[in-house]
């Protein structure tokens, strides 16, 4: 199966649909004409084999770079053109265990490590 993202006039992904393998080569026409959905459809890769990220609703399609970019998570983060991903102003720390999670604090511009509750049975 192939996946295609519908792009609005602002290049924002509005939805992602599956196209049968035998229609992959003509996904735009299959969705727009055959299924009468109209719109502009760009193929996306579930395995990130092309266009950097698997498109999802709210992602932006950058035509110049030919990549899907996720929504910006925080105002202070910047886009890494090489990876197509947003990066925090300081690197995320290493060493979190299975019961820890690092959470970005936008106000203080730092990472906070929080301990997750240990599941009980």
CA–CA distance, 61 with 11 (Å, rounded to integer): 5
Query: Looking at residue 84, what is its pLDDT?
Result: 86
Query: Looking at residue 4, what is its pLDDT?
Result: 96
Residue percentage of the chain with pLDDT more than 90: 79
Residue 114, φ and ψ in degrees, nearest 5: -115, 145
pTM for the complete prediction?
Answer: 0.80
For the chain, the domains span 2-71
**Antiparallel, parallel or unpaired: β 78-80 and 13-19:** unpaired
Q: Which two tokens stand for residue 66?
A: 């030919």
Is the per-residue pLDDT at 66 higher than 90?
Answer: yes
CA–CA distance, 27 with 40 (Å, rounded to integer): 10
Query: Looking at residue 101, what is its pLDDT?
Result: 94
């Amino acid at each position: 199966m192939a996946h295609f993202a519908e792009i609005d006039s602002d290049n924002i992904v509005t939805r992602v649909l599956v196209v049968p393998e035998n229609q992959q080569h003509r996904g735009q026409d299959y969705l727009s004409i055959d299924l009468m959905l109209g719109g502009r459809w760009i193929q996306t890769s579930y395995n990130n084999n092309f266009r950097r990220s698997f498109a999802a609703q709210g992602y932006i399609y950058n035509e110049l770079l030919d990549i899907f970019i996720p929504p910006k998570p925080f105002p202070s983060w910047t886009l890494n053109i090489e990876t197509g991903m947003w990066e925090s102003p300081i690197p995320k720390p290493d060493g979190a265990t299975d019961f820890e999670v690092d959470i970005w604090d936008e106000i203080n511009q730092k990472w906070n490590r929080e301990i997750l509750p240990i599941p009980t049975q």
